Amino acid sequence: MEDKRRHKRFILNVAEVKAKMMFATEVKVIDISIGGISLKANRRLNLGNEYALKLDDNNKVIAVKGTVVWSSLGECKAAADGEVVPIYTAGLKLADMPMERIDELQNFIEGHKKNAVNVKEGKRLNVRVHLDNADTAVLNIPASYKVREIGLGGLLIECLQDIEIGSIMPMSLSLHEDKLIKVTGRVASCRGEFSDGQKHYAIGLEFLDLTDKDREALTTFIACCPFVEDGNMKEEDANQALGANFPAISQEFIDKLEHFYKWHKTMGYYKALGVTEWATSQQIKHAFLTMAKEFHPDKHPNIPQDLKEKNEVVVVYLNEAYSTLMNPRLRKQYDRIPVSRVRH
């Protein structure tokens, strides 16, 4: 099958990337009051987590937030394909709202109430009422997913629930501890798979609004991570897709690698990147990109095993230096540590 993607996607071998998404799911509201709400959903709502809820009131949306105070498995239903779907019941305590929102919610309750719930006085903040419409609410659920493949045009995630093709949702990618990319994604594919007797889904998403700054960060991440391109290309072809060239290993590079490996523990992060202690974040990033391209393992595929192991140590150290110096808090802590000023 011909691959029509504009950008190649790469399988992550070592680096672990987590994608967080906010997707909407319809829920059945059981009862509601100004202080709280109980509902049924086809996904478990975690205790203590805050969720955004949208109530549809005659084409007018009322947005509220609530924290889960109890949650349990209520029942199981058979889906159209015969698969058993668990239905969870949960209670949420609504967050404080401005008076205007309280009035809107009160009008919503009055317009949709079926009957009051019999409760003992004082048991709930307000008297709750049943609603006459089973599908009056949409719940925004944040969740984390494992990223299996990544590229400049999108990614492939793994999750336990299917997501409708065409769905558009905000998402974020944690590339490392101090770099978070926020982007809008569109579901382009959803494929069911079985592993260890459990069904899960491979969800393909395309980026809709990746900024130039985030594209640069993602390009750097891909260039500095071990990977194997997905089925359509061999590994060496995938390296070329990222702009890597493979000249013969020069003695100059070998000497530089040996020197760096020998002294990296004493030279410190600034000297490793070739910048001063007063370097700006932009200068540090530029220096890191230059070094990362030079020592990238895939740029030297025929390097002897002993040099390959040394090169891996150097790459790890460069990444540690970059991650530390680009994080203001970690950089400040690092600057307090006495570093041997040995000249190399």
114-134 pLDDT per residue, tens: 544 444 343 333 444 455 554
- Angle (CA) 291-296-297 rounded to 5° is 150
The token duo for 164 is 């409708």
What was the pLDDT predicted at 199?
75
Give, in order, the Cα–Cα distances in Å from 59 to each of 41, 66, 147, 289. Answer: 22, 22, 36, 50
Q: Which amino acid appears at position 120 of this protein?
A: K
Burial class (CB in 10 A: 0-12, 13-18, 19+), 162: middle
Cβ-contact 26, 39 below 8 angstroms:
no
What was the pLDDT predicted at 275?
93
What was the pLDDT predicted at 98?
87
What was the pLDDT predicted at 126?
42
Give the CATH class of 251-335: mainly alpha
What was the pLDDT predicted at 205?
87
Please provide the distance, in angstroms rounded to a whole number, between the alpha carbons at the two ends of the chain.
54
DSSP string, 78-125: E-TTS-EEEEEEEEEEEPP--HHHHHHHHHHHHHHEEEE----TTSSS
Superfamily of segment(s) 9-18+141-239: predicted glycosyltransferase like domains (2.40.10.220)
Mark the ranges of the chain whose per-residue pLDDT is less than 70.
Answer: 1-24, 57-59, 78-84, 112-143, 176-178, 196-197, 223-249, 298, 301-302, 339-344
Query: CATH assignment of 24-140?
Result: 2.40.10
pTM of the full predicted structure?
Answer: 0.45
Q: What are the domain boundaries of the chain?
A: 9-18+141-239, 24-140, 251-335
On the question of a common fold for 9-18+141-239 and 24-140, the answer reads yes
pLDDT tens digits, one per residue of 217-241: 787 777 666 554 444 434 444 444 4
- Angle (CA) 309-179-159 rounded to 5° is 90
